[in-house]
Amino acid sequence: MKTHETRLELDKILTAVSSFAVLEKGREKALSALPARDVASAAQLLNATEEATRLLFELGAGRIEEFPPLGDTAERAQKGATLSCGELLACARLLRSARVLYRSVHALSDDRILLFRSLVDRLVFDEGLEEDVHRKILSDSEIADHASEKLWNLRREIRALGERIRARLQACLTGEEKKYLQDGIVTVRGDRFVIPVKAEYKRSVKGFVHDRSATGATVFIEPEEVLEMNNELITLTLDEKEEEERILAELSRGIGNLREALETDEELLAEADACYARAEYGYRLHCVKPEINGRGAVEIIKGRHPLLDQKTAVPVSVKVGGEYGFLVISGANTGGKTVTLKMCGLFCLMCACGLFVPAAEGTALAVFQNVYCDIGDSQSIEENLSTFSSHIVNLRDILKSAGKNDFVLIDEPGGGTDPEEGQALARAVLSSLLKKGCKGIVTTHYSSLKEFAYETDGVENGCMEFDTADYRPLYRLKIGAPGSSNALAICTRLGLPEETVEAARGYLSEGARAFEKTMRAAEQSRILAERAVAEANALKADWEARLKELERDENKFAAEREKFLAGSKAEARRIVNERAARAEELLEEIEGIFKRETLTEGDLIRARTLKNRMRAAPEREEVKLRALPVSPETLKAGDRVIVGSMNAEGVVISYKKNASKAEVQAGALRVKAEVSDLYPAANREKKTEKVTVVRNLAQKPVLPRECNLIGKTTAEAIPELEQFLDAALLSNLSEVRIVHGFGTGKLRAAVQECLKKHARVQSFRSGKYGEGEAGVTVVTLQ
């Protein structure tokens, strides 16, 4: 007879869990797991599963290493029996498995690993004995040559003696006796080397007959000349077996001394293996650790029955046992009522077994003393019970045994008999269960039971949603309202002839038709209303997200603006300070020139150059302090702007309102610049300066094609050189001379490096004889 756990298919879940175990005893433990009956025990099992999950999938600990079941091996070894090679290897693998688990857990410094650390601390292992067995035993039937020095020497002598015997017999095969032989090979009979001789020549070969073939055509003879050698070989072989027995006996004594530790280790490793199996099952099904309680409160959030395809299963949320003790679920056939009912009971059993459940975070489950259920067709041929009778027997047992701390699941009570009597029976059963104080779920199609849920405290209605427009179930549970069975609508969807369905509607009573129509209309209106609310909430959430994004952008813009202004002010102060310091240096240098007693022409040229540099510096190095970019709405043709990327001032020639680019005349260039790169220029009144050209004929004229840099530092010479080249280009000179002198060569190198980078320098060369040679550089301009 099926138990309640089997009806809820807990056995199938445990079978799936056991498939992830490595050890045979681990599989047995996982398969025979029983639900805990108190919160503390269930919590410990769940915590162990949580730690196993963390070890496997977060901290990277290894799985349990496989080893065969120990059986009575250690017990026989303790009693003095000599174990076989295979049995010794099995014990060594168990010792290795214990050692690997112990070290893998203790290698991880995670304070959350408590139960597993306590478990592995009880493990006992002997690494020396483990290594000794693996070093001396090669396989289930072979001992290593180096297991002992005596064994090595014996086997070496056996091999050498065997080679000598084979060599002696090989001589027989190729000598005069070759004609007597059946085959030209040396073979072994009874641990002795022999040669195959034709039966008719057996008296022609001196030796001892050890065997003959099945046909009698061949006899196997040990020649006299190898008799003593074979006797010696047998002696050595006996000595080898004796040494092997001694080695096995010695290793067996070591295993016997660890009998209790090995048996304990086997149990502990099986327990850890079962925990790992539960962890991997939960990981594969994307399960979560449920919150557990002893109050009987069950709240499943987006649960999926673990035996359904997890990719296509529709998540269902259920709440029962808190504000109300019983939930009455109604709704369409094939709508998921029974699956939901079974899922709730199965989840409670799973968590009591230490298993995580396939649901969303926040799922809470109760640990019940018992979970009772009456589900499906329980007809029993062996006990001569009909479907109705079987249900009644189950209900009898449930009503007799169920108590306050139990969970009861009943699928359509009162079915299989007269509907009126069935409804009365269903109400009576539910009333009895309420009086007992237990919690549970009942599915039904009876209208009176739905009314009973409305009228009775501690009972709540729930319905599986149904789309009446498409005649299909939605597999969603709505708590707080009953549902219509929609049997005739489902018949239409499943292909029952329309005339049959219409005839069935005609047979319904007026009250039934009105009730079903009202229920369907109410259900459809509720679905539409919830859909509208969901869309409104989604729209509201979208706009709230957009507003938050705009607020973030506004705050970010304000912060960047403050940062920009602060940076601009700091940059302005830095530049002003630099210009002031530079001007002071130039003034000091000019004053130093005029303090000299005698002024040369070079001193005057130097002073004039310094003066010009003071005037030109602000023009040449424009301060990049600007306000915010111009506004696209107010920008118009004729506005004076600064093109940021060019660091040049210009006038807007043309601009279409709110366009991304504007045409700007900047000096001799006309460019299309991004509006975001345009900044307002300060209005300047053009001042006409009177330029007076004075030609001092008394002084030695300065050649306009030559720039004299002798006596200047590199920092002084390069700006003057650049200014001279610009002037030469404006004067359309094609060739000029730069006089830098010989000196250390640094000034010449700096000048030529500057010329290499200048865009309008076509080529340059050192001066020739009569031009100043290496003290002059001749430049050809484009």
Is 117's pLDDT higher than 80? Answer: yes
In the structure encoding, which two tokens stand for residue 683, read together?
A: 């209005």
DSSP structural state of residue 596: S
777 by DSSP, 3-state: which? Answer: strand
CB contact at 8 A, 334 and 490: yes
pTM (whole model) above 0.75: no
pLDDT at 776 over 80: yes
Listed in sequence order, the DSSP H helices in 175-294 are 227-257, 259-284
626 pLDDT higher than 50: no
Report which of 756, 688, 767, 684 is spatially closest to residue 718, judged by C-alpha positions. 756
pLDDT of 316 reads: 92
Instruction: Give residue-wise pLDDT tens across range 533-543.
Output: 888 888 888 88
Per-residue pLDDT tens for 547-573?
Answer: 888 888 888 877 777 777 777 767 777
pLDDT higher than 70, residue 485: no
Which pLDDT tens digit goes with each residue over 31-59? 999 999 999 999 999 999 999 999 999 99
Q: What Rg do the C-alpha atoms of the chain give, in angstroms?
A: 51
Mean pLDDT across the stretch 666-675? 79
Q: What is the per-residue DSSP string for 640-670? A: EEEETTTTEEEEEEE--TT-SEEEEEETTEE
pLDDT reported for residue 382:
42
Q: What percent of the chain has a predicted confidence (pLDDT) above 90?
A: 38
Lowest mean pLDDT among 279-293, 317-331, 476-490, 500-514: 500-514
Note whether 1 and 385 are within 8 A (CB).
no
H-helix segments, 409-509? 419-436, 447-455, 487-493, 498-507
Determine the average pLDDT of the residues in 200-217: 76
Listed in sequence order, the residues at least 6 apart from 481 whose beta carbon sits closer than 8 Å to its beta carbon are 461, 462, 463, 522, 523, 526
- Report d(CA 123, CA 102) in Å as an integer: 7
Task: Write down the H helix ranges in 494-641.
Answer: 498-507, 510-594, 601-620
* 467 against 12, higher pLDDT: 12
Amino acid at 242: E
CA-CA distance, 507 to 520, in Å (whole number)?
18
The mean predicted confidence, pLDDT, of the chain is 83
Helix (H) or strand (E) holding 29: helix 24-31
The side-by-side arrangement of strands in the sheet containing 218-223 is: 187-189, 192-198, 218-223, 207-212
Of 154-168, 374-388, 596-610, 640-654, give the lowest mean pLDDT range.
374-388
What gap in Å lies between CA 273 and CA 190, rounded to an integer?
Answer: 49
Average the pLDDT over each of 56-70, 616-630, 734-748 and give the range with the smallest value: 616-630
Question: Residue 423: which residues within 8 A CB-CB, separation 6 or more?
Answer: 414, 446, 447, 448, 449
Give pLDDT, residue 688.
43
In the chain, the percentage of residues whose pLDDT exceeds 70 is: 84
